[in-house]
Structure 1
Amino acid sequence: MKGINTFIPRGKKQCQHVETFDDRAISEKSIDANQIIFSQMIPLPREGKQLDMSRWFQNLVAVIDVSLEFNADNPYPEDKTPEMLLVANLFYRDKEDDEDDWKLLASSNEHRMLDCNIESNKRAEGHIYNCELLPLFELGSVHYDYYLINIRLPVQVMSDINIFGKLDELSIIVIFQNGGFTKVWFSMKTVLFPTVIAVLIWFWRRVLTQGRSTNLTERTLLALGVILSIMNCPIEWLTLAINMPFLMLLNDIRDGAFYAMLLSFWIIFVGEHMMDQLERNRLFVYWKHLTVVLLACLALFIFDICERGRQLVNPFYSIWSSPVGAATAFGFIIVAAIAACLYFVFLCYLVFRVLRNIRSKRTSLLHMSTLRRKYYLGLIFRFKFLMFVTLLCAALTVISFIIGQVSEGHWKWGEEDVGLEYTSAFLTGVYGMWNVYVVALLSLYAPSHKKFTSDIDDTDSNSHEEEVQLTQLPSETSNLASFITKSTTD
């Protein structure tokens, strides 16, 4: 390559390499730290066979595991946080290219802060410090067959750069999405996308055939279905043919829009069933609650842009690379988790008020005929069940959000004890639950043209009843709304 040399660790055109710093070649040729290149080719060989990366992996994350040896002559500076300067180059090539035909993907000089410690009883020559993992780079796509990483640690004594003791080993850990999980995820999106679109079109056609103005619940349901369909759109299939490094950012935007719409929908959905003295069916009534939800989602979007947006230009960039950035990011995750839990508590409070309001009206059932009383009892039971399903969906959504944030960041702050198999299964289950929940709501809240007339009195008095609609409309089309807002007697 012009201007930047590539150092290949294996193959026909590999560079001269040493396995340890105690190798005789280092002392014989008087090689210093500034001349040593740490090189790793991805993927690693298996059983003597060179493997290649797959586009099904979708994304690639690399972290550095630094191994420092206790040495009295070259001690680790425990009185301060040592700074590590990485002169890093990332290359790529495909199987059809020559072995030395590496193309530069990214190059950067990155600063990382070391955080190492050692137990007091192990402060002896040869023992190893426990060091936190360091973020290296993150790619939003795995479009090429091979990747090559070259890292140099230039020592600058005057500025204390890379003065951190005796380096024993520097390992690069690579994490990518499992190809089997990707196929399951793509399949789910491919099936759910047309399904939700079909139900959404059917729902809105039923609304328009009523010959009346739409109500807030119906409009909000339509918006929720549209946002869910956008999130379901399986554009990920394009990554198998096209390099789309921006897809992770795009998916985060789609997910964030769905979170904002879903949280807003629950506020409106429960509020429209409050049946209090306020004039509902207007978006302005919920402006305070919706403002809080939208501001929180906007903050998440800005946080995501700060990292993923920068990584489109420089994959080595990480907000976790500095103490201030790491503290900010970690604190942001904690605050977001607390806010999600508080939202769930508030939603539970709203549902409790709705159910309490319904329970206070149950005395009116005593004055009804037997058939009408059974009719409303069944309606109330189904409505309560829907409220509890909503709370269950909200709880799993909050848990999914927290798990997603933790599983994404645990490699960056040094934690490794996360059950990725259980995490993937849970996130997939929650994604399927969202689609089932929205389809169920669209089906239940689709207006019906059917009318029901029953002889509900033992005498010769009759009552005209409509099919039940679970949404509060300004007219008398909702039997549940009529029952709650006024005493109903025969």
Structure 2
Amino acid sequence: MAGAILENLSGRKLLVLVSILIISQIICFLIGGLIAPNPSSADIALASKCFDAGNYTDKWFYPRGQGKCHLLTQDDMKQTHLANQIVFAFQLPLPRDNLILDYSRWQQNLIGVLQFDIEYHKESEMAEKTTVTIDAKLAYRDKGDKDTDWKYYASSREQRTLECTIKEKKEGYYYSCSIVPIFELGSLHHDYYLLDLRLPVDDNTNMNSGLGQIVDIWLVAINQNGGFTKVWLSLKTIFFPVIVGIMVWFWNRVHQLNRPPALLEQMLLFLGCSLTVLNLPLEYLTLAFDMPYMSLIGDIRQGVFYASLLSFWLVFAGEHLMENEDHNTLRAYWKHLSAVVIGCISLFVFDVCERGVQLSNPFYSIWVTSVGTNLALTFIIMAGISAGIYFLFLSYMIWKVFNNISTKRASLPSMSGARRLHYEGVIYRFKFLMLATLLCAAMTVVGFILGQVSEGRWKWDEDIELEYTSAFFSGVYGMWNIYIFALIVLYSPSHKQWPQDGMEQHISTLNQQSMNEEIEFSRLPTEPSEISSLTSFARKTAMD
């Protein structure tokens, strides 16, 4: 009788395989913890106040290098008539230890948020919520260019909502204001960037009339660390050919059987394909080409993988419940899978609404209005709640599987010794695999929630202090590959058959009752779609 490798692999070989997989998982955690730096870093830059004597809208103002702008003093800033002639300039990256630094394409992306320092004055008291109008221009230049050779990247007039509070209204005290997202670049293709901001004042339209006395503007520039990108791409480069090779081996073994592929085998292939797409190290192309859409592509790839992984777990648990007669089709799981698909589509639409628009306008953000912020927070909170509910539901399904199999084990004492030992070994192995599935699901849900919080906390301005480590991200990513690799191997069709000579000798030593039971067992009809003797055993006892 042939089944899955999980059932027919010897205990020694299975121990060696599991040991190798566990060691690989530990290595993934150690690589992230000992080799990779933090996934992202934040640099804080103070705006240089440049004086624009002629209000030249096409001129670039920068604080360092040949042709730098005329810098204003703090006393100059107090002259309100200069408001339309002040340009807040940020030249990135900042020099360090008198060394001129440049961005690396390994750093992948760049996000900018603003922090305003506003001094309280009785004659210019601010409201708790103030609409700020910002004229923003972004430029770039590369190594070898002249200091004056700034090239246009993007510009836009944006409105942001600034929320400011003050504990004690006294002259010289500062407001505590919320951060303001200003831009997001999906690629970091150039060496140097320049951000010029203006806060235009128009008495006729009351534009920026309620801002108060702005002392300074800070820019927090967040980018992915190049060292983390190198480690991440190294993992992708290693896992990509391994998963492709094991998929080819798996599907070749399936097609050697005299039956069509079972639903679980098809789901394993789909899961392996989505992981292969995720593993494909497309990020190498960003080292040669400017690909601002790479962040959107990365989100889509990860979304497809999440959808396939969540769907597979539902089918994997459902196939071992044996409650539906039509167990080998997706029709039995349409309710479960539709919920996963709707959730993933919702997140995809939300992502396109922001990252898609940012391809043409990097200053756009869905978080800039109250409606957009509430909508975005609703999506993220609902996604987190849905992930938690999904995990609870999957845990419930796995609990039902354990109960179902425990009920079926009641028939084991009536079997012969060989048959009973066979099924007991299969059940123990299956329970271990289901517990590993539950652990993988828990880590995936936690990683998803932390990823959403990590990305959004700079945008919704909540004081959330969480330690994100490279070890966790690389460990979870390695866990996905190792777990799916193990599933494909262990649920591949086994070509091992029970030896007929040995079986005849075993049967001859049994009494007549036991011999009749073995003969009956060998003649049990097996559905051509089943891939393991565990499902055959459970379904037979369910019919009995």
1:369 aligns to 2:416 (yes or no): yes
Other-structure match for 2:25 = none
Other-structure match for 2:162 = 114
1:383-422, aligned counterparts within 5 Å?
Answer: 383-415=430-462, 417-419=464-466, 421-422=468-469
Q: Is the 8 A contact 1:76 1:166 kept in 2?
A: no
Report the residue type matching 2:373 in the other structure: A
Offset at residue 269 of structure 1 (A): 1.2
Gaps (5+ residues) in structure 2?
Answer: 1-55
Q: Is the 8 A contact 1:84 1:111 kept in 2?
A: yes
Give the Cα–Cα distance (whole angstroms) in 1 for the partners of residues 179 and 189 of structure 2.
26
Q: Is the 8 A contact 2:260 2:528 kept in 1?
A: no
Deviations 1:215-268 (A, max 9, x none): 111011101101110110001011111111110000001001111111111111
Structure that is richer in helix per residue? 2
Q: Is the 8 A contact 1:451 1:466 kept in 2?
A: no
Assess, with a 3 A threshold, how the Cα gap between structure 1 residues 288 and 475 changes in structure 2: closer, same or farther.
closer
Q: Is the 8 A contact 2:259 2:528 kept in 1?
A: no
TM-score normalised by the chain length of structure 2: 0.83
Other-structure match for 1:45 = 95
Other-structure match for 2:510 = 459
Report the residue type matching 1:254 in the other structure: R
1:238 aligns to 2:278 (yes or no): no
1:49-68, aligned counterparts within 5 Å?
Answer: 49-68=99-118
Report the residue type matching 2:387 in the other structure: A
TM-score normalised by the chain length of structure 1: 0.92
SS in 2 for 1:321: coil
1:35 aligns to 2:85 (yes or no): yes
Give the Cα–Cα distance (whole angstroms) in 1 for the partners of residues 186 and 531 of structure 2.
50
Which region of structure 1 is more displaced relative to structure 2, 365-374 or 441-450? 365-374
Q: Is the 8 A contact 2:493 2:531 kept in 1?
A: no
Other-structure match for 2:343 = 296
SS in 2 for 1:156: coil
Other-structure match for 2:532 = 478
Give the Cα–Cα distance (whole angstroms) in 1 for the partners of residues 288 and 530 of structure 2.
55
Give the Cα–Cα distance (whole angstroms) in 2 for the partners of residues 466 and 375 of structure 1.
12
Give the Cα–Cα distance (whole angstroms) in 2 for the partners of residues 237 and 476 of structure 1.
42
Give the Cα–Cα distance (whole angstroms) in 2 for the partners of residues 159 and 364 of structure 1.
83
Report the residue type matching 1:10 in the other structure: R
Q: Is the 8 A contact 1:39 1:148 kept in 2?
A: yes
Other-structure match for 1:432 = 478
Percent identity for Structure 1 against Structure 2: 49
Task: Find the partner of 1:18 among 57, 60, 72.
Answer: 72
Other-structure match for 1:132 = 178
Assess, with a 3 A threshold, how the Cα gap between structure 1 residues 128 and 291 changes in structure 2: closer, same or farther.
same
Q: Is the 8 A contact 1:275 1:484 kept in 2?
A: yes
Report the residue type matching 2:176 in the other structure: N
Offset at residue 287 of structure 1 (A): 1.2
Report the residue type matching 1:486 in the other structure: K
Other-structure match for 2:202 = 156
1:155-194, aligned counterparts within 5 Å?
Answer: 155-162=201-208, 163-194=210-241
Assess, with a 3 A threshold, how the Cα gap between structure 1 residues 277 and 84 changes in structure 2: closer, same or farther.
closer
Assess, with a 3 A threshold, how the Cα gap between structure 1 residues 348 and 177 changes in structure 2: closer, same or farther.
same
Deviations 1:301-339 (A, max 9, x none): 000000000000000000001111011111111111001
| Higher RCO, Cα 8 Å, sep 6+ | 2
Give the Cα–Cα distance (whole angstroms) in 1 for the partners of residues 212 and 112 of structure 2.
24
Which region of structure 1 is more displaced relative to structure 2, 275-284 or 193-202? 275-284
Number of residue pairs matched by the alignment:
474
Task: Find the partner of 1:85 among 121, 125, 133.
Answer: 133
Other-structure match for 1:280 = 327
Give the Cα–Cα distance (whole angstroms) in 2 for the partners of residues 319 and 159 of structure 1.
25
SS in 2 for 1:147: strand
Computed over aligned residues only, the root mean square deviation of the Cα atoms, in angstroms, reads: 2.1
Give the Cα–Cα distance (whole angstroms) in 1 for the partners of residues 468 and 506 of structure 2.
56
Other-structure match for 2:248 = 201
SS in 1 for 2:197: strand
Report the residue type matching 2:98 in the other structure: G
1:211 aligns to 2:261 (yes or no): no
Offset at residue 186 of structure 1 (A): 0.6
Report the residue type matching 1:125 in the other structure: E
Other-structure match for 1:343 = 390
Deviations 1:69-94 (A, max 9, x none): 1111211123xx21100100000000
SS in 1 for 2:482: helix
Deviations 1:272-301 (A, max 9, x none): 111124321011111111111111101110
Deviations 1:388-418 (A, max 9, x none): 1111111111111111110001111123544
Give the Cα–Cα distance (whole angstroms) in 1 for the partners of residues 228 and 531 of structure 2.
46
Give the Cα–Cα distance (whole angstroms) in 2 for the partners of residues 416 and 193 of structure 1.
38
Give the Cα–Cα distance (whole angstroms) in 2 for the partners of residues 466 and 259 of structure 1.
40
Q: Is the 8 A contact 1:7 1:14 kept in 2?
A: yes
Which region of structure 1 is more displaced relative to structure 2, 170-179 or 277-286? 277-286
Give the Cα–Cα distance (whole angstroms) in 1 for the partners of residues 531 and 248 of structure 2.
22
Q: Is the 8 A contact 2:262 2:529 kept in 1?
A: no
Give the Cα–Cα distance (whole angstroms) in 1 for the partners of residues 127 and 200 of structure 2.
18
SS in 1 for 2:433: helix
Give the Cα–Cα distance (whole angstroms) in 2 for the partners of residues 197 and 466 of structure 1.
38
